Amino acid sequence: MDISIIIPLLNEEESIPELASWIERVMKVNQFSYEVIFVDDGSKDDSWSIIEDLGKNDQHVKGIKFRRNYGKAAALNVGFSKATGDVVFTMDADLQDSPDEVPEMYRMIREQGYDLVSGWKKKRRDPISKTIPTKFYNWTARRISGIKLHDFNCGLKAYKQSVVKSIEVYGDMHRYIPFLAKWAGFKKIGEKIVHHQKRKFGKTKFGLDRFYKGYLDLLTITFTSRFGKRPMHFFGLWGTIIFLAGFAIAGYLVYEKVFNLAFKMTERPLFYFGLLAMVLGTQLFVAGFLGELISRSAYDRNNYLVEQYLGLEENHQ
């Protein structure tokens, strides 16, 4: 199969029929073999009934229904696990992402060898209260991740199948799938300017809280990607540095006490700073040690991504 399109949705009953018809038209014109996987993330309207009706009349339409709302990341992760297309697309269900972009993004994956192509809504049809924080957020994400994308949070993306089968999306990490892909070893990541359409039905499901949550998630994924399997490298290093600083302060105070006899150690504020540093350093070191024990007992501690084998069977991993 050429293409899988995964569409997470929440209460989008008005837009689903039009989006499905639009996708069908684009796929037929370009003669793609395809599937469309709608993931209903706990909708309270008639979204699932509409998806069921579409599936009865069109074998390309498939669906997954959650019992409650779990979030976009969960919807994408389940969709990725079921996708069978050589190239996997994600897009939002609100008609702001154009299926007309699919053929060119497909060509970039298949012919130009990209692992991931992200849409870039260069001209956004959003209020200024949303566009300015988005630009700042994307600038920060570029600086921290080292991935030169202008729009990390664009819902329209294309992936090689091997990418979506190699990553796990959880929490609110759908914003950082390019980062997850890079961490997994997929480094050819590009972008394409896409047409951003104004929302036609309903209202956005995301509030201003997504910006501070986005930054917290960025810090989380940055830390776990660097130290997730070697926590002692972070906690142990800083614990040792802070402990030695506290020990040096204590040594200095002992020297002053022995040779100058001019003060009581407990009367100096520096004494308490040194004591605090040694206690904090010890705690950080112990945290790193416990992290190492947890990491070594994790089920995926030796879960490495092998690109291909030569002269060996894959089940010999």
User: Could you tell me which residues are beta bridge partners of residue 158?
Assistant: 89, 117
**Domain with 131 in it:** 3-227
Instruction: Check pLDDT > 70 for residue 126.
Output: no
Q: What is the pLDDT of residue 267?
A: 75
Let me know if residue 275 belongs to a domain. yes
DSSP classification of residue 157: E
What's the CATH number where 79 sits?
A: 3.90.550.10
More confident residue, 285 or 125: 285
Instruction: Please tell me the least confidently modeled range out of 18-27, 152-161, 236-245, 299-308.
Output: 299-308
Structure tokens at 296: 């070594």
Residues 101 and 207 in one domain: yes
- The predicted-structure confidence for 19-63, as pLDDT tens digits, reads as follows 999 999 999 999 999 999 999 999 999 999 999 999 999 999 999
Please state, rounded to an integer, the average pLDDT across all residues of the chain: 85
- The predicted-structure confidence for 223-236, as pLDDT tens digits, reads as follows 766 666 677 888 88
More confident residue, 201 or 245: 245
Tell me which of 195, 227, 259 is where a domain ends.
227
Q: Is residue 118 very low, low, confident or very high in pLDDT (cuts 50, 70, 90)?
A: very high
Percentage of the chain lying above the pLDDT 70 cut? 80
HEC-encoded secondary structure of 162-227: HHHCCCCCCCCHHHHHHHHHHHCCCCCEEEEECCECCCCCCCCCCCCHHHHHHHHHHHHHHHHHHH
Residues 31 and 167 in one domain: yes
Let me know if residue 306 belongs to a domain. no
Q: What is the pLDDT of residue 243?
A: 93
Secondary structure E strands in the chain? 3-9, 34-40, 61-65, 87-90, 116-120, 157-160, 189-193
Instruction: Check pLDDT > 80 for residue 124.
Output: no
Average pLDDT over residues 136-148: 83
Let me know if residue 303 belongs to a domain. no
Residues 219 and 240 in one domain: no
Instruction: Check pLDDT > 90 for residue 252.
Output: no
Q: Is residue 317 very low, low, confident or very high in pLDDT (cuts 50, 70, 90)?
A: very low
- Phi-psi label, residue 186: left if phi above 0, alpha if psi -120 to 50, beta otherwise: beta
Residue 76 CA to residue 90 CA, distance in Å, equals 8
DSSP classification of residue 97: B
Q: Is residue 278 very low, low, confident or very high in pLDDT (cuts 50, 70, 90)?
A: very high
Percentage of the chain lying above the pLDDT 90 cut? 50
Structure tokens at 102: 């699919």
216: closest CA among 156, 144, 298, 300? 144
Tell me which of 182, 198, 227 is where a domain ends.
227
Q: CB burial class (10 A; 0-12, 13-18, 19+) of residue 175?
A: buried
Q: What is the pLDDT of residue 197?
A: 77
Give, in order, the Cα–Cα distances in Å from 274 to each of 16, 117, 257, 259.
63, 52, 15, 19
Q: Residue 267: how many CB atoms within 10 A of its CB?
A: 7
In three-state secondary structure terms, 106 is helix
Residues 196 and 239 in one domain: no
More confident residue, 313 or 154: 154
Instruction: Please tell me the pTM assigned to this model.
Output: 0.73
Residues 252 and 211 in one domain: no
Let me know if residue 118 belongs to a domain. yes
Q: What is the pLDDT of residue 264?
A: 73
Residues 169 and 126 in one domain: yes
Residues 276 and 222 in one domain: no
Instruction: Check pLDDT > 50 for residue 8.
Output: yes
Residues 145 and 245 in one domain: no
Instruction: Please tell me the least confidently modeled range out of 67-81, 92-106, 204-218.
Output: 204-218
Tell me which of 207, 227, 247 is where a domain ends.
227
Residues 8 and 77 in one domain: yes
Instruction: Check pLDDT > 50 for residue 316.
Output: no
Q: What is the pLDDT of residue 266?
A: 72
User: From the CA atom positions of the chain, what is the Rg in Å?
Assistant: 26
